[in-house]
Every structure is written in structure tokens, then in C-alpha cells.
Amino acid sequence: MKKEKNVLYGPEPLYPIEKSTAGKQLYDALLKHSHLPEAMIDVQAKETLSYRTLFLTTCQLAQSLQRCGYKQNDVISICSENNLKFFFPVIAALYLGMITAPFNQDYTPGELHNVLNISKPQLIFCSKKFLPKILELKRKHTFVKKIIILDVDEDMFGCESLSNFILRNSDKDPKRFKPVNFNPDEQVAAILCSSGTTGLPKGVMLTHKNFSARFAHVKDPSVGTETIPGVTVLSFMPFFHGFGFLTNLGYFLVGLRVIMLRRFEQELFLKSIQDYEVRNIMSVPPIILFLSKSPLVDKYDLSSLKEIGCGAAPLAKEVSEAAAKRLNLKGIRTGYGLTEATLVITHTLPDIFKSGSSGKLVSFMSAKVIDVNTGKSVGPNVVGEICLQGDMLMKGYAGNIKATKEAIDESGWLHTGDLGYYTEEEYFYIVDRLKELIKYKGFQVAPAELEEVLLRHPCIRDAAVVGVPDETAGELPAAFVVKQPGQKITEKEVIDYVAGQISYTKHLRGGVRFIEEIPRSATSKIQKKELQKLITPRKSKL
């Protein structure tokens, strides 16, 4: 292949991208692993899902969906905490070429309005805990025609349970089911939320081919976490987010034993590592900080841990080294990823650690760094915007051609909005963010979404939201507010008002500052860097 100057290319892959659909690859993998007794163990519920049950149930659910007339390109959503049954509809949909649009179960009605109008799911699978929210949502959104409850045996409030839906509609012999064939390069597999470089959350369309590129990675011992069937990993990242969604599908593909936490609880996390002899964890920087500092760690035997991956936000060199030393590891494997490029794009290789680096490019991808003023690609050790190209790039933002064109240029390069550089050895370092995105504990916070909520308040004339650096969370959303003339409103009232309108991870933990005017450019774009200079970090109330 012709190599361009100042463009980096990922390594030759150990495994090629399969030509089959991601659904077919998972079908074959689950069949192959169906002798393994444990696919996923719910620690809190003390329940176990076997690969045989995972395989047969996904086939029966796919048969049932087909029998009820669901077909390629129909959209489902999932609203659930991490749950043993979460991936049943995901995998069944992949078999059929249906599209899964998961969303954060803690979203408020306002947030749900935004994201649901992007994907317009006709069928929503939810856990019992979130049924009231989804019933309310169905009343408001006429495109939602059916709700299926994942984790109950009996129908409730006019909604079928998953078990009854399968009982009533599936074939007596699930082994007669075969995945549908379609073009994996074009077929959208999932629509995942991301705010991209600016504005409100958008729907990232990832194709079966994007998934297959990730699947090729996970089979490679130098890329994936573990590749030996039956090896134990711990999974606590939220399943609705690209990180949790795709890492777990990768675990199933390889046949790993996944210890699942419904939500992160410090002692349960440590006890699970000890009791299940977990070998590998994929995590985010706040967890590494916890492992480096918490006295709780000394109460448990964590010697089974052979590798910890970390990504989704910057990991301080000191924190990484302290955690590795405490856990007797040579280092913490770090990676850089974004939903618009499916998952991990760069990562450090096993046993080769470069503190502070996010590692090297993965196969099937190319990268360049461009000068933010000229747009021209630069060479090593020069900071610029990271641009990506290759088989893991999203198909685009669902229903948003304008945002897609702003993100992916005519030459097919995704402009990530991340500032970084690479060394002569092609190790990447992410140093800052051009884009507005705020990362609270690895979770995305779109400033525009909070600004939209603030501007609806009658006492607020103008508002801007920026990220405040925080050692524990990475960044905290903070608001600058201009009051309406003559109006009185306190910082606490603003914080409480926003907290009542938006989900937990987006609350204004960085506080509120009242100012006379929001600094704007000639094109009325908020000058966020100016505002950040006005911020003196306060002790966060996490």
C-alpha cells in the first residue's frame, strides 16, 4: 500500500476482518463455547448465565422477533442497568440485521427526548426497575410500539416478559435458526450516543464491519485483553456506553468468564477480584486512582490480576505508576478510544509500558496529526489535532448529515477534536481537547446540553458550561451564568435546578459562577478558553 508522509498506519493484523456479519461471528462463537458453564456471573444477584443459555436464548429471541415481523433495519433500544439479560436482544438483533440503540438508563425525560428522536426505536427492552420510565416514554413517543421486560417471568402492566415473548413465538427447536445474511459494510449494527466535537448528543452509527474490526482485535493476544476461553475478566463499565457495549461482545466472542457488577461498589469490586480470581479488568482513570490510594485495597488478595486496561480519559503518569506498583504489575495498559471510531484506537502493548502514553495505533486504522491553523499534517513530536481513518470509523451520525460532514472530511479523515502528538516510535500522547466535550469519570458531558437546560430558567439570561480539572473525576462540569436583569438566583438554586433536569453524571459538580457577560467571538461562539482562565478549582462535592 502507498504510504503517505506524516501518516501513521496500524500494524499488519494477526487476524483479518471477517467478511461475515458480526451476528454470524457471534453465532458461531457462542455455539463453539456452548460447552462452557459460565458466560457471565451477576455478582450482586448471585446468578450465572451459561454460554449454552446465551446461545439458545439469543436464537429463540431472534426466531421470535422474526415471527413477529421484525426485520433488517428495525430499531430496538435497551434501558437497563448492567444485567445478565442485557445482551440477549443485542445479539439477537445482530443475527437479524436489526439496529440496537442503547441509552443511559438514568437519563431524564428531557435527555431521553433528544436521544430517542434520533434512533426512533419501535421496540424497547427494559429491566423491571426502569419499566415505569419506559411506560411514560411510550405514552409520549408514538413510534415506540412495544415494550419487553428483560428480567421478570410474568407480563406486567400490559408488557410481555422476555421469557413469555420467547415462549409464545419461538420455534420448538432453536437450532433451526440461522443468522440472516446482509452486507456487513453497510448494515448499521448499533447507534451509540456521543456529543462529538460540539453540540448536543448525536447517534453514532456503527456497522457490522466496524464491529468485525474490533472482533479481529480481540482474538489477537497483543491487542485484546484475554484470548483463552474460560479466563476470568471483570466487567463493570456501563453496558449502554461503547466501552462496555463492545468490550463485552468481545468477551463473548472469545468465550471468557465475565464477572459482572451491576454498578461499581468499591468493596464489592475488590472482593469480586479476590473471590473469582479475576485476571483482567478494563477500567477508567478514577478506578486506577482508587486502586492506587484506597486503604480498602490492602484488605483483599488481588494477586490474580495480571492486566489492567484504562482509557476513556487521561490517566496521570503518577497514578498509573502508583497503582501498578501497589498491584505488582509492570504497568497499566492505557488506551485511547472514541465512539466515533468504534472503540480503542491506540493502546500500549502487553508488557511494554510508556507512562503517560496512550500507546500505538491498532490494525485497520491510519492516523495523522494536523496543524490546527493550517490543517496540514505534521511529523513526530508536534502537537496538533488527531485525525483518524480506516475500518473502525463510524458510518456517520444518524439523521445528521451536517454533523457527519463536520466530523469526517471529504478525504475520509475523522477530525477527533483531540490534541496530541506521536513520537518517532509512533507512541501517541493525548495532551488536550479542542472540542467542547467534558469527561466526568470517563462519561461524556456535552456543554450544549447543560447550556440548553440553563437557558430555559426564567432568571438566566445567558450561560456557558466548561470543564474544571479534578484529580478524582478528571473534569467537573461548571457553569458561568448571566442573570436576567433584576432577578435573584443563588448558586445552589442553579445547581439544584440543573440536577432536577439532567442525569447524575452531568450535574454541575464544578459549581456556578455569576458574571456580567459571556465572552463570545464575532460569530457569537462562546470563548470557552477565556472562561476556563477565570476558574479557580474548588474542592469538588463528588
Ligand X SMILES: Nc1ncnc2c1ncn2[C@@H]1O[C@H](COS(=O)(=O)NC(=O)c2csc(-c3nc4ccc(O)cc4s3)n2)[C@@H](O)[C@H]1O
Task: Tell me the sheet residues that pair with 333.
Answer: 309
Which of 343, 392, 479, 518 is in the footprint of ligand X by CB under 6 A? 343
User: Is 444 near ligand X (CB under 6 A)?
Assistant: yes
Query: Segment near ligand X (CB under 6 A), from 14-22, 311-319, 372-380, 457-465?
Result: 311-319
- For residue 413, what are the contacts with CB-CB under 8 A and spacing of at least 6? 368, 387, 388, 389
Grid cell, residue 169, equals 413465538
User: Is 518 near ligand X (CB under 6 A)?
Assistant: no
Which of 339, 366, 377, 501 is in the footprint of ligand X by CB under 6 A? 339
Give the number of C-alpha atoms closer than 13 A to the C-alpha of residue 126, restricted to the C-beta side: 25
Give the active site residue among 202, 279, 354, 439. 439
Q: Is 207 a catalytic residue?
A: no
Which of 103, 240, 243, 251 is in the footprint of ligand X by CB under 6 A? 243
Nearest to ligand X of 92, 310 (CB atom): 310
| Chain residue whose CB lies nearest ligand X | 311
Which of 214, 217, 333, 457 is in the footprint of ligand X by CB under 6 A? 333
Grid cell, residue 397, equals 451520525
Q: Count Cβ atoms within 10 A of the Cβ of residue 30 and give its class: 0-12 exposed, 13-18 middle, 19 or more buried.
A: buried
Do 23 and 179 contact (CB within 8 A), yes or no?
Answer: yes
CA distances from 153 to 64, 78, 263 (A): 17, 18, 23
User: Is 312 near ligand X (CB under 6 A)?
Assistant: yes
Do 473 and 441 contact (CB within 8 A), yes or no?
Answer: yes
User: Is 194 near ligand X (CB under 6 A)?
Assistant: yes
Do 419 and 406 contact (CB within 8 A), yes or no?
Answer: no
CA gyration radius, the chain: 23
Q: Is 214 a catalytic residue?
A: yes
Show contacts with ligand X in window 3-62 (CB under 6 A).
none
User: Is 335 near ligand X (CB under 6 A)?
Assistant: yes
Nearest to ligand X of 78, 180 (CB atom): 78
User: Is 193 near ligand X (CB under 6 A)?
Assistant: no
Helix (H) or strand (E) holding 135: helix 131-140
User: Is 358 near ligand X (CB under 6 A)?
Assistant: yes
Do 442 and 286 contact (CB within 8 A), yes or no?
Answer: yes
DSSP count for the chain of H helices, then E strands: 15, 28
Helix (H) or strand (E) holding 334: strand 333-337
Residue in the structure block whose three cell numbers are 478514577 = 286
Show contacts with ligand X in window 371-390 (CB under 6 A).
none
Give the active site residue among 33, 202, 214, 457. 214
Q: How far apart are CA 361 and CA 376, in angstroms?
A: 20
User: Is 233 near ligand X (CB under 6 A)?
Assistant: no
User: Is 313 near ligand X (CB under 6 A)?
Assistant: yes
Query: Segment near ligand X (CB under 6 A), from 253-261, 320-328, 334-342, 480-488?
Result: 334-342
If binding means CB under 6 A, how many residues of this protein chain bind ligand X?
A: 28
Nearest to ligand X of 51, 251 (CB atom): 251
Query: Which amino acid belongs to residue 105?
Result: Q
Distance of closest approach, residue 208 Cβ to ligand X, in angstroms:
18
Which of 213, 338, 414, 465 is in the footprint of ligand X by CB under 6 A? 338
Distance of closest approach, residue 54 Cβ to ligand X, in angstroms:
22
Distance of closest approach, residue 515 Cβ to ligand X, in angstroms:
27
Query: Segment near ligand X (CB under 6 A), from 134-142, 328-336, 377-385, 451-459?
Result: 328-336
Query: What is the SS3 assignment for 283?
Result: strand
Q: Is 85 a catalytic residue?
A: no
Torsion of Cα atoms, 441 then 442 then 447 then 448, to 10°? -140
CA distances from 67 to 57, 71, 147, 153 (A): 15, 10, 16, 21
Any idea which residues carry the catalytic annotation?
Answer: 214, 241, 339, 439, 525
Q: Which residues bind ligand X (CB under 6 A)?
A: 194, 242-243, 282, 309-314, 333-339, 343-344, 347, 358, 416, 418, 430, 433, 437, 439, 444
